[in-house]
Structures are given as structure tokens and as C-alpha cells.
Structure 1
Amino acid sequence: MTQSRMMSMIEAATNVVVGYVLAIATQIMVFPWFGIETGLAEHMTIGLVFVGVSLARGYLLRRVFETWRRF
């Protein structure tokens, strides 16, 4: 069974959303250990910078592996 492009995007988006929430929670806990003090808005902005990259990475890797699976 193959995975459609739409399902690849849904899977990648779900992975990114879960990762984003975990990243924000982790930043809130870890940043103070390194003397980095930021507010929630900054944490969310930092996280958003990586959302696009993570979404593209997840989608592209899924499509690469789906293509390789066919060979």
C-alpha cells in the first residue's frame, strides 16, 4: 500500500505540530538553565522559525522513501 501525497503532508504536519508544542515546553524549561530569559511570545516565534523547515524536511523525506520503496 502506498501513501498519497496528501497523507504524507498530513503526517508531516501532525509531526511538526506535536514537535512544536514539545519544543516550546522544552525551551521554557531549558532556556533558564543557560541564562536565556524570554517570554512566551519569543518562545513561540523561535519555534515558528523551525516549523517551516521541519514540515518541508518531513514531507520531502517521506516522498523520497516512498519513491525508493517503489524500486
Structure 2
Amino acid sequence: MSQSRAMSAMEALINVTVGWSAALALQLTVFPLVGLHASPGQHAAVSCAFTALSFARMYLLRRLFARLV
């Protein structure tokens, strides 16, 4: 049974939300350890950019694999 586009988007969104939370926490911890200092707004902007890219990547790859099956 193939996955609908809406379900692909839902899965990618949930996956990215969980990943974003973990990545932001890691970013807030690691940046100062390596000498990078950013404001909370800068952390949010950087993590949102990577999150948008991650969502698009996961959705497109899932649709590609759904088409191949």
C-alpha cells in the first residue's frame, strides 16, 4: 500500500519537529563549547533554515521512493 502525499508530509513534519528540538538543544550546548556565540534569535534562525531544508529533503525522498515502489 502506498503512502498518500498528505501522510508523507505529516510524517516528515513530525520527524522534523522532533529532530529540530534535539538539534536546537544540541546547538545551544555545542556552539559555546567551540567558541561560537549566538543570540537566541540567531539560534532560532539558523535552526529554522536547517529545519526547512530537512523537511523538503525528507518529503521529496519519501515521494521518490513511494513512486519507485
**TM-score, with structure 2 as normaliser:** 0.92
Q: Give the share of equivalent positions with the same residue, in percent.
A: 43
Which one-letter code corresponds to 1:23 in the other structure? A
Cα shift at 1:38? 1.5
Equivalence for 2:52: 52
Q: How many residues align?
A: 69
Query: In 2, Cα distance between the equivalents of 1:52 and 1:41?
Result: 16
Give every structure 1 segment of 4 or more consecutive aligned residues whose post-TM-superposition deviation is greater than 3 Å: none
Cα shift at 1:39? 2.3
- CA deviations over 1:4-28 (Å, ceiling 9, x no partner): 0100000011111111111110001
Query: In 1, Cα distance between the equivalents of 2:11 and 2:20?
Result: 14
Which one-letter code corresponds to 1:53 in the other structure? L
Equivalence for 2:64: 64
Aligned-residue CA RMSD (Å): 0.9
Counterparts of 1:1-71 in structure 2, within 5 Å, are 1-69=1-69
Which one-letter code corresponds to 1:65 in the other structure? F
Structure 2, gaps ≥5 residues long: none
Query: In 2, Cα distance between the equivalents of 1:20 and 1:44?
Result: 10
